[in-house]
Structure 1
Amino acid sequence: MFSFCTDPSLLPDWQWMACYLTTGKHMSIYTSVLTVLLLLAITAPAALAFGFAGASAARSRIAPLSWLGKGYIAIVRGVPDIAFFLFFVIALDQMIEYVRHRALCPDWSEPIRQGNDFVVCAAAKMPLGTAPQWVHETYGFFTAVFTFAIVFGAFAANVLFGAMRAVPRAQLETAEAYGMSPRQTFLRVLVPQMWVYALPGLSNLWMVLIKATPLLFLLGVEDIVYWARELGGTKTERFTEYPHGDWRMWYFLALLVFYLLFTRASEVVLGRIMARLTLGQATTGGEAQRKAA
């Protein structure tokens, strides 16, 4: 807040706008941008870890493990994202509270399911009702991160599974002929070479993940879209000292520019990573680089 913001009604247009954009409540939309970036920074490697585990399980020679990996890919990919987000967060939250309830309140005599209500003792609440607000917000955020990682991990697993199968079989047979164990062949030959085949699919998945961040609102996280709608709506002098009309179009236009710039920056970075991975590889990209050189 600037020093000249004492009486907004007397300010010229540019000073009024400067004061309006730096109010305490308006800072929430700037903080929500950091929330979105933090979500992406944590979710991307987590989803990649889930994907690698799922793809490795799917190609396993152990039948139950292979069924588990392929089942994870098929089930999560077959359910609409919104339906999975709404179901999984509630189910995960109730599962955690149920386990805590059984451990912390063994003398509880009332049923947990009471009609449409899920009732546990106060000590089993997650987080506790007496916990500060930041604990509730942090819990909601990491629940959202885990849900995003599960969903996009299934898509990443499908991409990585296809990339593993795209590595020429002759490469693996040569490694086996040199006496490498299946584990060594997997880690030293298959995994390093699969990334060049997986990166196009993972690049698309990264773009989809960026566009899916507004779903945070469904998970109870006050994200950038929530604050754009909240701050852009009509405000009267009764509720704020900075009254304005319906500005949601301008707020959502700013969001459009933000996401376009972010995806463009992602395309540049991913393009450089792809060029680095295909250098010297027996692929179309590597062949194009050799001809250009």
Structure 2
Amino acid sequence: MFSFCTDPSTLSTWPWMACYLTTGVHMSLYLSVLTVLLLLAITAPVALGIGFACASAARSEIAPLRWFGKAYIAIVRGVPDIAFFLFFVIALDQGVEYLRHKMLCPEWTEPIRQGNDFVVCQAAKMPLGNAPQWIHETYGFSLAVITFALVYGAFAANVLYGAMRAVPRAQIETAEAYGMTQRQTFWRVLVPQMWVYALPGLSNLWLILIKATPLLFLLGVEDIVYWARELGGTKTPRFTDYPHGDWRMWYFLALLIFYLAFTRISEIVLDRLMTRLTRGQATAGGEAQRKAAA
């Protein structure tokens, strides 16, 4: 990046370090930070939406919906995250390729399952072998978003389901006594008040989601952990212009600082959000605010 980086072997410590940290592979490391932030920005609202829908289904008076909501929460929460990530991504990828294979290659006569191999025609591959690199990366990232959203959507559903049940029954009965329909009571009374009870659990879930982003490497996404491991390993003059020893400790220390800083910022934002939501509410937080203002 800098003009003085033409011959790293002639540079002193700080210019060498400036050149080293601005190489193309380090730009990939910095880009992976944006990848993690983008994953969180997309996954969090999608998981919350899935959680809200399944929590509502678990409360439904329609038996199949209620069974589906409770089964989804129980099954996904009961499977270890790593096992779900490894199984679901493979199953989803092969399921998509299977459907494409049936539609695009009806003349195919060979079995799709050949021992341990899953073989489909080239036209059914996802993505296609000759597709640009950005399509491969986008496809992998999309699978990661879907997987994270389904896993943490189940936890969000459990939190929201408990929050809905925590809203005092007397307030629901009061709304019904005023002639509100079940739909009006749900959207105007239950949903606005449940967030006060749900936010502590959702806050913990958000922090857990942040800590789970290193699992991206299991899904084939080149994330921060991948690049920290690759760049921090020992490099010799034969393979790089910037040889160095085993620096993985320093790279992972930088990751530690990044995650701690991000977590602290999240805690500050969530605390302020909780203060805003509890204002005027008949909760411990609302009572504390009233006493402080008195």
TM over 0.5: yes
- Quote the offset at 1:180 in angstroms: 1.1
- Quote the offset at 1:166 in angstroms: 0.2
For 1:12-34, what per-residue CA distance to the aligned partner results, in whole angstroms no more than 9, with x for missing partners? 11000000000111111100000
Counterpart in the other structure of 2:231: 231
Partner-residue secondary structure (3-state), 2:24:
coil
Separation in 2, partners of 1:233, 1:66:
51
Counterpart in the other structure of 1:21: 21
Q: Does 1:57 align with 2:35?
A: no
Separation in 1, partners of 2:187, 2:286:
22
Separation in 2, partners of 1:273, 1:179:
32
Separation in 2, partners of 1:228, 1:168:
49
For 1:139-163, what per-residue CA distance to the aligned partner results, in whole angstroms no more than 9, with x for missing partners? 0001000000000000000000000
Q: Does 1:147 align with 2:147?
A: yes
Separation in 2, partners of 1:3, 1:107:
59
For 1:27-53, what per-residue CA distance to the aligned partner results, in whole angstroms no more than 9, with x for missing partners? 111000000000000000000011001
Separation in 2, partners of 1:119, 1:174:
61
Counterpart in the other structure of 1:158: 158
Letter in 2 for 1:129: G
Unaligned runs of 5+ in 1: none
Counterpart in the other structure of 1:201: 201
Separation in 2, partners of 1:248, 1:46:
34
Counterpart in the other structure of 1:216: 216
Letter in 2 for 1:290: R
For 1:169-194, what per-residue CA distance to the aligned partner results, in whole angstroms no more than 9, with x for missing partners? 11111111111111111111100000
Counterpart in the other structure of 1:116: 116
- Quote the offset at 1:124 in angstroms: 0.9
Q: Given the two structures, how large is their TM-score scaled by the length of structure 1?
A: 0.99
Counterpart in the other structure of 2:262: 262
Letter in 1 for 2:52: F
Q: Given the two structures, how large is their TM-score scaled by the length of structure 2?
A: 0.99
Counterpart in the other structure of 1:2: 2
Separation in 2, partners of 1:129, 1:225:
26
Letter in 2 for 1:262: F
- Quote the offset at 1:121 in angstroms: 1.1
Separation in 2, partners of 1:129, 1:180:
57
- Quote the offset at 1:55 in angstroms: 0.2
For 1:248-271, what per-residue CA distance to the aligned partner results, in whole angstroms no more than 9, with x for missing partners? 000000000000000000000000
Letter in 2 for 1:288: A
Separation in 1, partners of 2:155, 2:185:
25
Letter in 2 for 1:173: E
Counterpart in the other structure of 2:45: 45
Separation in 1, partners of 2:127, 2:138:
10
Give the total of aligned pairs: 293
Counterpart in the other structure of 2:289: 289
Separation in 2, partners of 1:183, 1:264:
38
- Quote the offset at 1:107 in angstroms: 1.4
Separation in 2, partners of 1:247, 1:48:
38
Partner-residue secondary structure (3-state), 2:158:
helix
C-alpha RMSD of the superposition? 0.5
Counterpart in the other structure of 2:68: 68
Q: Which moved more, 1:114-123 or 1:84-93?
A: 114-123
Letter in 2 for 1:155: F
Separation in 1, partners of 2:144, 2:213:
10
Partner-residue secondary structure (3-state), 2:134:
helix
Letter in 2 for 1:266: S
- Quote the offset at 1:214 in angstroms: 0.2
For 1:210-256, what per-residue CA distance to the aligned partner results, in whole angstroms no more than 9, with x for missing partners? 00000000000000000000000000000000000000000000000
Letter in 1 for 2:75: I
Separation in 2, partners of 1:177, 1:262:
46
Partner-residue secondary structure (3-state), 2:276:
helix
